Structure formats: structure tokens, C-alpha cells
Amino acid sequence: MRVAIVTGAASGIGKHISLLLSSQDVLVVAVDINDIDIEKVEKVQSDVTKDIERIIESVVMEHQRLDYIFNNAAITFIGEVEELSMEDWNRIIELNLGAVIKGSLAAYRVMKKQGFGHIINISSIGGLTPFPGLTAYNTTKHAVVGFSTTLREEARLYGVRVSVVCPGLVNTSILDEKIKRICPIKFMEPMKASQKILKGIKKNKRIIIFPFHARILLFLDRYAPRLLGLWKRGLFDKYMEMKEDD
């Protein structure tokens, strides 16, 4: 039986990836710092910034293989960049980037030895195009893209696959409800997003980008960056106005 580790599995994309994999006869080890309400998976309530390497070692010892790791856990902060303290920066970097690197490298050592496996790191459309008000988040997500695409080039020599996922707007708890109210783009549901991810993994895509609006944003970022920037800034200004009114 194939074995997968999914971090950030208590909600959103992580939860739905776990559900889909478990329905496909994959043994899923679901990891989150919060309670995990998923049936037919092994549950580990833990802080991945501290424990992901130990968790991987334990899973491999018990099951003698690791087919997939989904480094999905992340947090964000929305606001002007000067509002973030260094403590905020360190916390975001430690989870969004540090845990991804730790999880990827620990899994890579196992997969390289066994000669197969797939590392999937969840970035964001914000890892490919900038969004005001999300400086720290976007910084880590850009880094995840660079790390993953580079590791892929090394890993292919040993039969190990690496993909990075850059979804657009998905209806998960990581985004403030105010963003969902002011943004004219329809948010994709996490189950549909998870289906897109697994489809991209099956094709061994280097960068998995969806839905269609994400591709439009990338097109505009390349060919009309000033116009797109004005639109993004307008949304952010609306968000800040709503935040001040609360």
C-alpha cells in the first residue's frame, strides 16, 4: 500500500487531499497542530516546525516506505509591511518555508534511498506574482517555488519527483473573510482544488497552477503589470478600510 504524509491536514486543501488519497487506498498520515476530524487516516497532532523530521522517521520505520509528502501547512498575515514585527516574520518563515524545507529534505533522503517517491510543496499564486498586503506570505511562497523547482532537477536523477502547487483563490480559512467579500473573483472550493492537485501530480507537473483566474493573473503580471498592480492595490485599500471600520 502506498503511504502519504499530509501536513496542515485539519482543514482546507490538506484535509481534502487526505480524504481523496484515503479513498484511493493510500495510507494517509494526517498531521496538524489542531484536532483532525478525518476518518480512515492515521492522525498526528503536532507542530511540524518542530516535529516533521521525527514524524517522517516514525512513519518510515512503521510502514517501510514513503510514497508522497504534501508540505501544506502555512499561515499568513494581511496588512502593511511595517505592521509586522520580526517575531511575526520569523513565525511565518519558520512554518511556510522552514517546515517545507525540513519536510522535503527528510522525505528526500528516504525517497532517494528507496528510488521512488513524490514531494509536493504547496505554494500559492502569490509565489509567482506579488500581492500588496501579503509581503511576508508572498516572500515565503516565492522561496518555496524556487526551492521546489531546483530540488526537482536534482531529484530526477534518483527517481524522485518534486512538484510545487500554486493555486489561486481557494475557499479556505487561511484568508480573511473580508478578502472573500471584496474580491470579485470566485473562490474555488478546497475539494475541487485538491482534485486538481492530484491530477497534476499524476502527470508529474513541475508547477501545478489553477484555476483559470490564476493563469489570467500570471498573464497580466507579465504583459500588463502596472494595470494589474493598480487593481491589486485597489482591493488592498478596500480591505484596509474595512479593517479600520471593524
CATH code at position 117: 3.40.50.720
Choice among 68, 137, 223, 239 that is catalytic:
137
Q: Please, are residues 208 and 191 in contact by the beta-carbon 8 Å criterion?
A: no
* pLDDT tens per residue across span 2-16: 999 999 999 999 999
158 included as an active-site residue: no
Asked whether the predicted pLDDT for residue 79 surpasses 90, the reply is: no
CA–CA distance, 152 with 147 (Å, rounded to integer): 9
Beta strand 42-45 pairing with 207-210: unpaired
Asked whether the predicted pLDDT for residue 222 surpasses 80, the reply is: yes
Domain count, the chain: 1
* pLDDT tens per residue across span 160-171: 999 999 999 999
Place of cell 471593524: 246
The predicted pLDDT at position 122 comes to 98
3-state SS, 170-212, equals ECCCCCCHHHHHHCCCCCECHHHHHHHHHHHHHCCCCEEEECH
Structural domain of 208:
3-245
pTM: 0.95
